[in-house]
Chain A
Amino acid sequence: MTAAGRPALGWWLLILPALLLLLVFYVAPILQVLAISVTEPEPGLGNYERIFTSESVQRVILTTLRICLITTVLALLLGYAIAHAITLASPRARGWWIMAVLVPLWISVLVRAFAWVTLLRRQGLVNNTLMNAGVITEPLPLVWNEFGIIVGMVHYMVPFAVLPMLASMREIDPRLLAAARGLGASRAQVFRSVFLPLSMPGVIAAAVLVFIFSLGFYITPAILGGGKTLMVAEWISLQILDLIRWGLGTMMATMLIIAILVTLAVFSRIVDLRRIFGSGA
């Protein structure tokens, strides 16, 4: 077996650098986070008890879940519209549609948050335009609140929703749609009884992806929330950088990991996880 065993060792050596880097500089710091959550300020589950006793902890969790669910639903709806259009578009138009999704996906999250602040703040372009047109007399509170967070987060998440849905819609045989039309189904019927059911695996994959990305999202909520509406990630950074409460911060970080892994585990039974992350780049 040495003849077969030796080359295998060579291939394993190729894996080694990445594996070591990941274990030493990624997994170890994360494990330390888990460890701190049960050792500081004193050993035990005291930090986790706060989930049941502290109103502020509960409020942050509920706010995060609410915003993430709304974001997921909106990103799915809008993303579905685009993915559907791309699937049925002519090859030339398809390129443009895909650019409209991919370019925003890779544009800096900071640029996008800045653009939304420019548009939505009190003297922003939206409020100024509406006031000049005489539609409103007082500027609307469009940003530094939950509304602003959701607008910015949905904007960030739509491309992530499109990719898995698009992958799944491309597997739908277009002749099925044409056949349904030919047999006398209306456009709405074709969509409801043929296209929608066949695209469901993509929708579920997209939902999982957008939801878990939203849960730990930091930059956009921090900029567009204005420090008043706190989501989990910003709350964690506040605990650690400003209040130096490592135990509480790492407890919430651990909860975040658990929430994400549980979501993935639950849905891995109905949807191929490779589809979620394989199409990410």
Chain B
Amino acid sequence: MDGIHPPGRTARGLAWATALYLVLPILIVLPVALTDQRFLSLPQDGISFRHFATVLTSPEWLGSIWQSFVIAVFATVLSVVAGTLCAIGCWRISRRATELVRVLMLLPLIIPSIVYAIGLYRYFGPLGLLDRFAGVVIAHGVTGIPYVVITVSTALAAFDPRLEQAARGMGASLAQTLRWVILPRIAPGIFSGAIFAFIHSWDELVMVLFIASRDVFTLPRRIWDGINENLDPAMAAVAVLLVLFTTLLLMLDLALRRRRDS
């Protein structure tokens, strides 16, 4: 289609304006983080890395980054194991009942996290999971399942079911079929799902606001407090680090997809 019907000038202008509206505000945090001033501003007399230094030497920020990371790793494992097995089961059985299961798995994407967060607040209390590591891991892990189910189901759609039948026909057990035939084939899809489940947990704030308070204090929670209390360039430095980290993860996903497609 290339060159046959290129967009007109108005269409192109509007698209460019929208792209700038999407990207520029995010890029603005970089010069602000490099300011030599003590308040949120653009650099005046030169650039300075001291706001990055403030963040990277602060035990509070580092502690929260570490907590968020560990929680995201555990939550990702939970989402990936449960989500992958579920997607495979639904794909293989493929009946009305499994369609229902799939819809159920999408619920966390559909129902706003505020509703789930207030529900968990009451639900976790008697279980002793409030302000506990395990509680946050469970909440993030369960709500990360949809991302894995979607990416793994997409990968399975391109997988020839006869391969699985052949393996079974030659006497492979279910575990062997999974281990040697199905999982290697859909590995890129599982990795994609893992990346999205990780970003989901790493960024999640609303549930943490309700089910964690002192002992569990994740990075988004600290940023939230920062935005509401002291707006300073250190916040911009954190934002830059987050943007870099997320972009890196997305590039990784892109590279994996490219390898799978070629």
A positions within 8 Å CB-CB of B: 7-8, 10-15, 17-19, 21-22, 25-30, 32-33, 36, 78-79, 81-82, 84-85, 88-91, 97, 100-104, 106-119, 123, 125, 155, 158-159, 174-175, 177-178, 181, 187-188, 190-191, 212, 215-219, 223, 233, 236-237, 240-241, 246, 249-250, 253, 256-257, 260, 264, 277-278, 280-281
Contacts and interface: CB of A to CB of B under 8 A. Distances in A.
A15 B111 contact: no
B109 A29 contact: no
A111 B145 contact: no
A280 B8 contact: no
A240 B209 CA distance: 12
A38 to B, nearest CB: 15
Interface of B: 1-8, 11-12, 14-19, 21-23, 25-26, 28-29, 32, 40, 42, 78, 81-83, 85-86, 88-90, 92-93, 98, 101, 104-116, 118-123, 138-139, 141-143, 145, 147, 149-151, 154, 168, 174, 192-193, 196, 199, 203, 205-206, 209-210, 220, 223-224, 227-228, 231, 235-236, 239, 242-243, 246-247, 249-250
Contact of A106 (B92, B104, B199, B227): B199
Contact of A90 (B2, B23, B143): B2
Nearest to B157: A278
B223 A114 contact: yes
B105 A18 contact: yes
Contacts of A233: 112, 114
**Most chain B CB inside 10 Å of its own CB: which residue of A33, A233, A256:** A33
Q: Which 6 pairs, one residue from A and one from B, show the smallest C-beta to C-beta distance?
A: A216-B112, A174-B1, A29-B119, A85-B15, A18-B86, A14-B89
Given A108-B203, A277-B109, 12 more contacts: A11-B88, A11-B92, A17-B81, A78-B21, A112-B26, A114-B236, A115-B26, A158-B18, A174-B4, A178-B4, A277-B150, A278-B154
Nearest to B95: A8
Chain A binding surface SS class: helix
B86 A19 contact: yes
Contact of B236 (A109, A116, A118, A215): A118
Nearest to A233: B114
Contact of B243 (A12, A13, A111, A159): A111
Given A30-B111, A102-B250, A110 B151 contact: no
Given A15-B89, A22-B145, A216-B115, A85 B11 contact: yes
23 contacts: A11-B89, A22-B142, A28-B123, A30-B111, A32-B122, A33-B119, A36-B122, A78-B21, A81-B11, A88-B5, A90-B3, A107-B243, A108-B203, A110-B239, A114-B223, A159-B22, A188-B8, A223-B228, A253-B114, A253-B115, A260-B111, A277-B106, A277-B109
A8 B8 CA distance: 55
A236 B239 contact: no
B82 A17 contact: yes
Given A11-B92, A19-B104, A117 B21 contact: no
B28 A115 contact: yes
Contacts, number: 267
A85 B246 contact: no
A36 B115 CA distance: 12
B8 A187 contact: yes
A111 B249 CA distance: 16
Contact of A111 (B29, B141, B192): B29
